[in-house]
Structure 1
Amino acid sequence: MSPTVDDLRNEIRQAVGRYERVESTAFTKEALAAICDAVDYDIGTNGLPSKPQMRAGILWKIGALEDDDPERAERPLRKAELESVASALRDE
């Protein structure tokens, strides 16, 4: 049986030192920032960028997007994208 979206999110959270969530929720800005750090996407030091910017950066760093254009990551990560992120974090 393949993991659910919630399972994948929690696996990713744990891989970057965040806590598991019982309820189904998308990543917070802080969790996205931790994932950015884990995949070596530089978010700078002047506050956190937008969620779409961080999602695009994560997907770009793992090879799922050609660039880090936030317009290509306006919505929460889909299951296939979560699987790719989880796989990239497992490989590190």
Structure 2
Amino acid sequence: MAISKEDTGSGGRYVAKLAGHEAEMTFSRVNAGLIIVDHTAVPDALRGKGVGQALALHAVEDARKGGWKIMPLCPFMRAQSLRHADWGDVVQQR
């Protein structure tokens, strides 16, 4: 599965492409040190294949490399962050 990042400066999205389908996790940039993950969309054809989890992990790894925090407003990202205590270094709960 290929995951890419599209950054518009004020936000962007992580995109996963698999088997001709596209899933995404969108974010808004609050400042240089904080992004808000606000939406995750995985088409039915990709459900149960770990695509959403892969997008979430990619965002966490990107935050670690970039030195910023993630505020998970998206219900999926929030649920994943609560399951992964090891993401606490980059996930900022409200």
- The TM-score with structure 1 as length reference comes to 0.25
Q: Higher helix proportion, which one?
A: 1
- The TM-score with structure 2 as length reference comes to 0.25
